[in-house]
Amino acid sequence: MAQLPFDSLYRHGFARVAVAVPPVRVADPAHNAEHTLTLARQAAERGAVLTAFPELGLSCYTADDLFHQDALQYAIESALERVVAESAGIDSVLLVGAPVRAQGRLFNCGIVIDRGRVLGAVPKSYLPNYREFYEKRQFAAARENLADHITIAGQRVPFGADLLFTAAGLDGFAFAVEICEDGWVPLPPSGFAALAGATVLVNLSASNIVVGKADYRRQLCASHSARYIAAYLYSAAGQGESTTDMAWDGQALVCENGEILAEGERFADHPQLVTADVDLRRLAADRLRMTSFADNVHDHRERLARLRRIEIELPVPAGALGLDREIPRFPYVPANPAVRNERCAEVHHIQVEGLSTRLAATGSQRVVIGVSGGLDSTVALIVAVKTMDRLGLPRSNVLAYTMPGFATSARTLNDAHRLMRALGVSAHEIDIRPSATQMLRDLNHPAAEGVSQYDITYENVQAGERTSHLFRLANQQHALVLGTGDLSELALGWCTFGVGDHMAHYSVNASVPKTLIKYLIAWSVDTGGLGPEADEVLTSILATEISPELIPSDNGAADGDPDQPGQSSEATVGPYELQDFHLYHLLRFGYLPSRIAYLARHAWSDRTRGRWPDLIAEPDRNEYDLPTIKHWLAEFLRRFVQTSQFKRSTLPNAPKVGSGGSLSPRGDWRAPSDAVATAWLDELERNVPDE
């Protein structure tokens, strides 16, 4: 959809769909058609390319034996002809429920109508005939169909439960229709349609309401969408259906891959129109990576090959159309505090489990860790302490070393000592400046003589000295070196290769992004399990500038606070909150850079839109315009694709903690170290505006 403007959601792989529940009158097709058309026009005005209505919506589901009356059938046919004729001026594909007489039988059908044309009719496959349902009294099931085509509104159209509608002008959009009970059986028709390529599954339903049924429908629709990696649209009959023996709530749902995107008001006394923007590219990305999905396709290939494919041209709006769904700013950090606390607890337990198992397997009872007073080493130290608690070992078996260098601030050094003391570990300090100076002198580096030459050699000498000390201490103490680096740093290559913070005997943060690291610390404070002294220093660490502290500052800290580190990581590699967003969407889904930029602008361009995690105070809620996003995304792509893979190819062991991915060559990410980022950077430059 490159011809569409950058501001169109359709250009970036989204599609707006609608679920409509009009008010009806039993056995009054003219009235029902009028309200159907009204909602259809409203859906088209909102930019929805597909609109689903309830089962038997033109006649009402509760007509019972009136379905066999010729007068009602003629009125239904007239109403259907009107809907087809007037749809010529409605830019949305309509899925309307109506009874259809064919082959001497009556079929409960979903009829697909596109701007004056009937594209097909899908009869219901499974007719409930238990409890309050008596559908077999009036209707024939799809299996009783004898013909591939029938005539509707004067048009000869495909007929059967084997129809799959594919969109020629919107990549990844293919839909299939099932009717009410079809979605409740063990092997629903929508499952086979999904295996055949349908990404949007539509259920035209009546479904009376009883206590607890609404929750069950939500679970059913959401689980269908998750199992089939699809969108699932559900429209239930509402106001106006006969309440002789049943009641109706008009539940309208749009689900996607296990998540409810939108739901209408139940028991409404007015028409309901629910729209949602379905992410087609996410569905495609998940299906592409899930090899077992393709295996399942293979196992049912004979049945799938018999499905008839009907190609359609969706009425995609030509102009700009903004995205109407929330894109989380922090994909690794849930905004809901309760969900976030559950996430943090789960991550922490995975980290502790990983380290506990490694210590047990190696027979080691001690770990060596470098403590900087920064975020990453703080989380790793907490994990080490909790691992000792779990194994019944003393916390003194955590051999913690803070190792001040040429640029260590008083604040971080003080916080490191306070934290080690509060957690009860074996606390030590080794000043690496003498050994680092000696190495610089051996290298004939000018900094050894006091010259302010702060190059990469100057930085890595310090990083290497720290790691070298830790490994030798581990040899001496029969311990394991615990790595502290996080997922964000690995993605950006922001670590010193080999004898540096890149290396350890075992790492615990390697698949935890920087944005989540902060919340793990905050969660530790909130749960209060480490004591008030530890909580106080953890709060101080959360407020400290993220810095490698390798280059002295002649002008004070980056933010003007002399108590803060003088070097800012984010000034070089970009804001971690933004780069974590880029990382998630590239690593998890492999999206085009232009799409990532589009999503980032939607999430980050307006600080007043959407939810924020409560840890972030109002003054710290940042926003980024498109040029800024484009700049830092280009920096991310250069670093991730081209310059830093060799570091990730030789990573120490570490547990994967989240579905967002890990960068271990033994886990989620295997990539060549010699790749170039030209394709990504060119696509970004070509398809993302500079303003």
Residues carrying an active site annotation: 55, 124, 180
Q: At what angle do helices 626-637 and 678-687 cross, to 10 degrees?
A: 170
CA distance linking residue 439 with residue 433, whole number of Å: 10
Contact 627, 600 (CB under 8 A): no
Phi then psi dihedrals of residue 20, to 5 deg: -120, 140
Burial (CB < 10 A; 0-12, 13-18, 19+), residue 543, is exposed
The DSSP code for 157 is: E
Q: How are beta strands 259-263 and 174-179 bridged, if at all?
A: unpaired
Q: How are beta strands 231-235 and 272-279 bridged, if at all?
A: unpaired
Q: Could you tell me the CA-to-CA distances from 392 to 356, 389, 395, 396 in Å, in that order?
A: 11, 5, 9, 12
Helix (H) or strand (E) holding 555: none
DSSP one-letter string for 275-323: EEEEEHHHHHHHHHH-HHHHHHHHHTHHHHHTSEEEEE-----SS-B--
CA angle in degrees (0–180, nearest 5) for 624-627-628: 45
Nearest Cα neighbor of 264 from 53, 109, 494 is 53
Query: Can you tell me whether residue 113 is helix, strand or coil?
Result: strand
Q: Dihedral, CA atoms, 677, 679, 682, 688, nearest 10 degrees? A: -100
- Give the distance, in angstroms, between the CA of residue 515 and the centroid of all CA atoms in the same chain: 16
Contact 174, 164 (CB under 8 A): yes
CA distance linking residue 342 with residue 558, whole number of Å: 35
CA-based max dimension of the chain:
103
Q: Which residue's structure tokens are 């085509």?
A: 149
Beta bridge partners of 112: 95, 120
Nearest Cα neighbor of 495 from 464, 452, 454, 468 is 464
**H-type helices in 568-689, by residue range?**
569-573, 576-589, 593-604, 626-637, 645-648, 678-687
Residue type, 406: F
Q: How are beta strands 105-114 and 117-123 bridged, if at all?
A: antiparallel
